[in-house]
Amino acid sequence: MDAGFFASFWQYAYFLAAVTVVFSIKWLSSPATARRGVIAGEIGFALAIIGTLLHFGITVPIVIAMMIGAAIGAPMARLMPMTAVPQFTALSHAFGALAAALVGTAEYYLEPGQPPTGFKMVALTIEVLLGFLTFTASIMAFAKLQDLIPTRPMTYKGQNFVNLTLLAIAAAIGVWMIAAPTPAWAYPVFIVLSLGFGVMLILPIGGGDMPTVIALLNSYAGAAACAMGFALQNYMLIIAGATNAASGFILSVIMCKAMNRSFTNVLFGAFGQVQPADKTKGTAKPVRSATAEDAAMILANSQKVIIVPGYGMAVAQAQHKVRELTDQLIKRGVDVQFAIHPVAGRMPGHMNVLLAEADIPYDRLHEMEDINNEFSEADVALVIGANDVVNPAARHDKTSPIYGMPILDVDKAHTVMVIKRSMNPGFAGIENELYYNDKTLMLFGDAKAFVAEIVKEVAAQTPVAA
C-alpha cells in the first residue's frame, strides 16, 4: 500500500465509522439484533477515534486523557447495576456535553482577542450553549435519580418566566457575540447563564418524567456535538452528533406518547408532585392476600397467563426464576405470554433486556398495544414488581398525576395476582387502586424468593400427563 493510503486512512476510517454507527442504531432497535448493534457501535467509535488520532497526531496529553477516561469509564460500566442505567446515562451525557462545551471554549479563546466570526461563531455559540446547559441539566438528572437531591418537582411562582428569561438573556448574548465584537465579560456570562439554565430546567421536573428528559438531554448532547462538528469542520462529529440528536429526540417523542404527555407538559408540568389529598389514607381498606401455594394452584390450572414484569422484578433480579416458572407452566399446557409496558422499569427496553438475558423467547414478549385486548381472555394476569404501569387510576382519575398514561389493562383478567413486598407505592409515589380490587390477590414478598416458591409449588402439583 502506498503512502497516500495511510495519509488518507482517516477518511476511510470516518466513512466506515459513519456506516457502522447507522447500522448499529438499526440493529439496536430489536432485542434479537441488539447485541450486534452494540458491537457495531463500539467498532464504529473505535474507528472514529483511531481515524482522528491518525489525522491530527497522537500527543502525550491525549494519551493520558484517554487512559484516565478509560480507567474511570470501564469500571463504572462494569460495576453499575442494571437498575442504575438511567443515572449512568445521564452522567455520560453530562461528560459528553461538557467535552463539547470545553472544546468550543478553547476554540473561542484560541486566538487571544480574536474570537471566531461568521458561520463558525454561530456553530460555536450553539455548541457552547447546548453543551453547558446539558452538562448541568444532566448532573441534576443524575442527582435526582440517585436520590442525592429530592426527586419531587421543585416549583415556585413565576418559575417558567424566570427560566425563559434566563434562556432569552443567554440567547441574546449569543447573538451579540455572533454579530459584533463583545466585551471580555460577555463570554463568561454566557457560560454562567447556560449552566444556570440547565439547573433551572430540571428543578421542576420530577419522578416519572425523568426518563423522557434524559432522552431529550441525549438529543441536546448530540446537537452540541453536531454543532462542534460544524465549528471544527469534522464530518464524523457532524454525522455522529446528528444521529445522536435525532435518535434521542425520537426516543423522547415515543416515551411522551407512551405516557400520553406533551413536551411542554413534561418540561413545565411538574409531574410527580406530592398529591394534595390521598383519599385512601386512614381508611385502611382491606386487601386479599394469598400464599405461594394458592398462587401455584391457580396458575397451574389456568389456560392463559399473562405475566407483567416491572421495576421490582429488576430490583429482585427475578428474571431467571420467572423463566423457570414460565417453563413449568408451559409444560403443563398453559399459554404464557408477557406484556411489556414501554416505560416499565427504569429505562426504555429495561424489561426486554432482562427477559432476553433469562432466555425467554422474544415471540412471547408483547408490546402494550398488541396485548392489551388479550387480558380479558386471560385467566390470570401475574404482575411481578410492576405498579404505576398497571394503575387503573391512569384511565379515569383526572386528579392523578399519571392520568392519561396508557396502562396495561390487567384488571380485565379473571384474576390478578400482584407480587410485591408491601403496599408501598411505585415510582410516581401514588396509591394503586388495583390492589383493592375484588379479583386481586396480593402475594407479599421479594419477587425472586416468591416466584421461586411458586415454581416449587407448581412442580409439586400432580405431574402432567405424558
Give catalytic residue positions: 388
CB of 297 to ligand NAP, least distance (A): 21
The grid coordinates of residue 89 equal 446515562
Judged by CB, which is closer to ligand NAP: 332, or 420?
A: 420
Rounding to the nearest 10 degrees, give the CA dihedral for residues 459, 357, 318, 462.
-10
Strand partners, 444: 420
Give the whole-angstrom CA distance, residue 26 versus residue 22.
Answer: 6
For the chain, the maximum distance between any two Cα atoms, rounded to a whole number of angstroms, is 86
Judged by CB, which is closer to ligand NAP: 59, or 424?
A: 424
Give the whole-angstrom CA distance, residue 211 versus residue 213.
Answer: 5
Identify the H or E element spanning 335. Answer: strand 335-340
Hey, is 433 helix, strand or coil?
A: helix
CB of 214 to ligand NAP, least distance (A): 8
Judged by CB, which is closer to ligand NAP: 220, or 427?
A: 427
CB of 207 to ligand NAP, least distance (A): 7
The grid coordinates of residue 97 equal 456535553
Sign of CA dihedral 139, 66, 50, 52: positive
The grid coordinates of residue 104 equal 468550543
The C-alpha angle 239, 245, 247, rounded to 5 degrees, equals: 100
Q: How far is CA 349 from CA 31, 33, 43, 217, 407, in A?
A: 9, 13, 23, 18, 16
Residue partners of 345: CB distance under 8 A and separation at least 6: 83, 309, 310, 311, 314, 351, 354
CB of 391 to ligand NAP, least distance (A): 8
- Coarse DSSP helix, strand, coil percentages of the chain, rounded to the nearest 5 percent: 65, 5, 30
CB of 57 to ligand NAP, least distance (A): 41
CB of 255 to ligand NAP, least distance (A): 7
Residue partners of 67: CB distance under 8 A and separation at least 6: none
CB of 194 to ligand NAP, least distance (A): 26
Q: Compute how many other C-beta atoms are within 10 angstroms of the C-beta atom of residue 370.
A: 12
Hey, is 125 helix, strand or coil?
A: helix
Interface residues with ligand NAP (CB under 6 A) are: 86, 208, 210-211, 310-312, 315-316, 343-348, 350, 385-389, 419-422, 424, 426-428, 446-447
Judged by CB, which is closer to ligand NAP: 323, or 350?
A: 350
Give the sheet arrangement for strand 380-384, strand by strand.
Answer: 365-367, 335-340, 304-309, 380-384, 415-420, 440-444
Judged by CB, which is closer to ligand NAP: 178, or 442?
A: 442
Identify the H or E element spanning 190. Answer: helix 186-202
CA-closest candidate to residue 97, choices 218, 231, 239: 218
**Alpha carbon of residue 140 to chain centroid:** 15
Judged by CB, which is closer to ligand NAP: 288, or 331?
A: 288
Give the whole-angstrom CA distance, residue 193 versus residue 133.
Answer: 8
Judged by CB, which is closer to ligand NAP: 422, or 462?
A: 422
Give the whole-angstrom CA distance, residue 71 versus residue 92.
Answer: 14
Judged by CB, which is closer to ligand NAP: 44, or 345?
A: 345
* Residue of closest CB approach to ligand NAP: 426
Judged by CB, which is closer to ligand NAP: 13, or 203?
A: 203
Q: DSSP character for 384?
A: E
CB of 51 to ligand NAP, least distance (A): 34
CB of 388 to ligand NAP, least distance (A): 3
